[in-house]
Amino acid sequence: MFLTGVIEGFYGRAWSAAQRGEMLDWIVAAEMNAFVYGPKDDVKVRARWRELYSNAELEAIGVLGDAARARDIRFFVAIAPSLDVTYSDPADLSALQARIRQLVGRGIVHFVLLFDDIPREMNQADHASFTSLAAAQAQFSNDTFAGLRALVPEAELIFCPTEYCGAFARPDVARSGYLWDLGQLLDPQIKVFWTGPDIVSEEIDAASLRQIGAILNRKPVIWENFHANDYDIRRVYAGPLGGRGDDILSLIDGIITNPNNEFEANFVAVHSTGAWARGGYDEGAALEAAISAWQPRFKLAYTEPERHVGREQIRLLTEICYQPFTCGPEIERLLGVARSLLGVHRPEITPAWRAGCAEIVGLRDEIRALFDVMTELENRDLFYAFHPYLWEAREEVTHLCSYLEWLSDGPASEAEFPDRERIYNFYRRGFTVAVQELLKRDGEGRYHHAD
Ligand code: GDL
């Protein structure tokens, strides 16, 4: 079965039970069919994988599984035994099987084994027992799968490899002993996750999928990190899925998206990923359809009759918080205008320059209005999902406009911009900024050693 859906598979604060329930409805609305429970925040998914769930924990997962089944959604539970497992130790295999038996006893039949983000080195005992990490993981997973299928013949298992993207393959995808070994040794009925050329892939093309499909001996299931934001505290992604053509649909065995930590920010991510998986995808049309379906969540508090944030404002929100590799098209255009206004050392203040300036001031006013109207949302989770990012957007664009206005007055050469609203060297400082400043990046974000 071609799997399409959502994995709660990120680092950081996990979603609540109520949010997971709501996510199941979003999955249905997006015509998808799977949900994977695998928050790195559930200590028993990773660090304490050997322990059984308590009755209360088991019940919470079981209730979610029931809710998924009631909606015809395949419900997977992830287990990551990978941080400290000894693959050759029968006690570790038994611990994993006991966990699986416990979950099967509560009606959960589909599982994911996660081997992502772990050391590539095996311990000494495993070195003595296996020729490679892939051989160790494959045998451990095959044994787990055989035990699971003995309990539940229709059970599915998905395997997340340690080399789960091109950038992690050693020395590269074509020559990765790890990936070739997996392809040969892992039970062909076990599905395998793949995130594309990178952890967060700007594009995933057909040639790369043909290659990995041939090596793994099966079509991969895309673990889609396009909308994940756990790696960058300054961004959230509310734009449509992009960078994946229709031509890859026949080369994969599904797509499961691992989106933003902020639950409410994920509506467009889920809706558009579902649209992509159905084929005939058009990014702009997918965004418009998602905005229509999303707008009812933007109800303003204390309004009778009900009022909502307007479509144009929601579109602006998505344009500001668009995709990992680009802002929305209109915001990109306006950034281009701003760049050209600032591009010349001493701009000649022509009518065209002033017109460009007016466009940026217009954007500032729209962002301020959006910021203000969002404070009135009845759904506070939706408000907080975007609040820090919109705050920052408003501050920066306001600052830019002050600068442009100052420039339009023709300041003397070398004059200093009188930024009275900020304490110098106070704003956005701190340890991480200090470390970032140690490594000077070029325009493409690459580092070079400067003499
Ligand atoms: C990862 C992690 C995932 C995380 C994502 C984005 C995989 C297979 N694993 O490395 O948990 O959310 O990157 O930071 O993607």
How many Cα neighbours within 13 Å face the side chain of 62? 14
Catalytic residues: 117
User: Residue 142: which pLDDT band, with cuts at 50, 70 and 90?
Assistant: very high
> In angstroms, rounded to a whole number, what is the distance separating the alpha carbons of residues 189 and 261?
31
Name which residue leads in pLDDT, 21 or 440. 21
Structure confidence at residue 348 (pLDDT): 83
Q: Delimit the domains of the chain by residue range.
A: 3-294, 311-418
From the CB of 230, is ligand 1 less than 6 Å away?
A: yes
User: Is the pLDDT reported for residue 443 higher than 70?
Assistant: yes
Beta carbon of 201 within 6 Å of any ligand 1 atom: no
| Distance between CA atoms of residues 134 and 125, nearest Å | 15
| CA-proximal residue: ligand 1, atom 15 (nearest) | 199
d(CA 398, CA 338): 13
Report how far residue 70's alpha carbon sits from residue 58's, in angstroms, rounded to the nearest whole number: 18
Average pLDDT over residues 284-295: 98
Choose one of 10, 191, 193 to mutate for the ligand 1 pocket test, by most ligand atoms within 8 angstroms of C-beta: 10
Cβ(163) to ligand 1 under 6 A? no
User: What CA–CA distance (Å, rounded) separates 414 from 403?
Assistant: 14
Q: Determine the distance separating the centroid of ligand 1 and the alpha carbon of 199, expressed in angstroms.
A: 7
Mean pLDDT throughout 213-241? 97
Ligand 1 centre distance from Cα of residue 182 (Å): 20
Phi and psi (nearest 5°) for 254? 150, 175
Q: What is the pLDDT of residue 450?
A: 66
What is the per-residue pLDDT for 70? 98
Query: Ligand 1: which atom is nearest the Cα of residue 228?
Result: 6
Topology adopted by domain 311-418 = Methane Monooxygenase Hydroxylase; Chain G, domain 1 (1.20.58)
Whether ligand 1 lies within 6 angstroms of the CB of 10 is answered as yes
pLDDT at 195 over 90: yes
The answer to whether the pTM exceeds 0.75 is yes
DSSP string, 131-183: SSHHHHHHHHHHHHHHHHHHH-TT--EEEE-SS-SGGGSSS-TTT-HHHHHHH
Closest residue by Cα to atom 1, ligand 1, is 199
pLDDT exceeding 70 applies to what percent of the chain?
A: 99
3-294: CATH topology: TIM Barrel (3.20.20)
